[in-house]
């Protein structure tokens, strides 16, 4: 249970930083459920460090809006209401729309190739997911699902890279921290129609960028991000009815 003290962590002497990343990963992946408390002592023991770097990591996560620290009480993982998710979708839609607009004018051959590859892989992963999963895996973390999630990240990542704006990337990364991905995972894994729609939207965006049509790329991207957020918001709201919190 303690065990890992040095499982190749390459910390560069920034232990608190590394802890923040690791905790963030667990929170986004859903290993640490929304609403749960994070205890200094528990984390410290698990990673084989003292409470000091744990405190630092938690304060960083608090500053990033991932957890909330109540004085003398502790840190708990932030959840988001449907409204929050829609708002985040609007914000992210603007920024990714801007990225798509910039990318349409700046993308190079290699990035274009990777963009089309990502879109293609996404498509095929959805096919595989739909074919191989006849309600057999309610948890939704099939291999195919992992693949389309990865392809999706690549798709958006290449566009962001092509936009070549460091501050834009930073800001989008900041927003992504506020949205647990496993929610998106679960919301999409069970709804093939959404996956298909996403795929079609990706194709439209890729086409516009291929054609160098900045305005169209932007509109398509903004619409895509917003509709994804809308779907996620509805899923969360439905879940909320049956699950206590």
Partner DNA sequence: GGCCCCAGTTTTGCATCCAATCGATCCGTC
Partner DNA sequence: GACGGATCGATTGGATGCAAAACTGGGGCC
Residues that bind DNA (CB under 7 A): 11, 13-16, 37-41, 48-53, 55-56, 69, 71-75
What the block records as the tokens of 133 is: 């999963």
171 touches which of its own copies, DNA, none (CB within 5 to 8 A by kind)? its own copies
Residue 206 CB, nearest approach to its own copies (Å):
22
- Nearest Cα residue to 154 out of 192, 115, 191, 193: 115
Of positions 16, 23, 115, 180, contacts its own copies by CB under 8 A: 16
Q: How many residues bind its own copies (CB under 8 A)?
A: 36
Does position 168 interact with its own copies (CB under 8 A)? The reply is yes
165 touches which of its own copies, DNA, none (CB within 5 to 8 A by kind)? its own copies
* Calpha distance 196→4 (Å, rounded): 41
Q: Specify whether the backbone of 38 is left (phi greater than 0), alpha (psi in -120 to 50) or beta.
A: beta
Taking the least distance from each CB to its own copies, the nearer of 84 and 120 is 84
Does position 118 interact with its own copies (CB under 8 A)? The reply is no
Task: Report yes or no: 210 and 112 within 8 Å, Cβ to Cβ.
Answer: yes
What the block records as the tokens of 142 is: 């099939």
Taking the least distance from each CB to its own copies, the nearer of 97 and 180 is 97
Residue 50 CB, nearest approach to DNA (Å):
3
What's the burial of 59, exposed, middle or buried (CB within 10 Å: 0-12/13-18/19+)?
middle
């Amino acid at each position: 249970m303690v065990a890992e003290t040095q499982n190749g962590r390459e910390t560069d002497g920034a232990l608190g930083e590394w802890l923040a990343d690791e905790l963030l990963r667990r929170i986004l992946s859903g290993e640490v459920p929304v609403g749960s408390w994070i205890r200094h002592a528990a984390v410290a023991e698990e990673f084989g460090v003292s409470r000091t770097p744990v405190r630092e990591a938690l304060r960083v996560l608090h500053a990033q809006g991932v957890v909330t620290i109540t004085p003398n009480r502790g840190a708990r993982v932030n959840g988001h209401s449907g409204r929050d998710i829609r708002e985040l979708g609007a914000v992210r839609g603007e920024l990714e729309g801007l990225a798509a607009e910039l990318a349409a004018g700046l993308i190079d051959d290699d990035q274009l190739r990777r963009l089309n590859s990502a879109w293609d892989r996404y498509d095929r992963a959805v096919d595989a997911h739909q074919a191989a999963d006849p309600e057999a895996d309610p948890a939704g973390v099939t291999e195919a699902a992992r693949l389309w999630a990865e392809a999706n990240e690549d798709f958006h990542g290449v566009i962001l890279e092509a936009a070549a704006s460091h501050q834009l990337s930073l800001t989008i990364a900041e927003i992504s921290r506020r949205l647990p991905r496993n929610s998106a995972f679960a919301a999409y894994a069970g709804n093939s129609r959404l996956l298909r729609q996403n795929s079609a939207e990706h194709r439209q965006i890729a086409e516009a960028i291929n054609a160098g049509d900045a305005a169209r790329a932007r509109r398509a991207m903004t619409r895509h991000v917003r509709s994804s957020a809308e779907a996620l918001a509805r899923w969360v709201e439905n879940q909320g009815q049956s699950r206590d919190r």
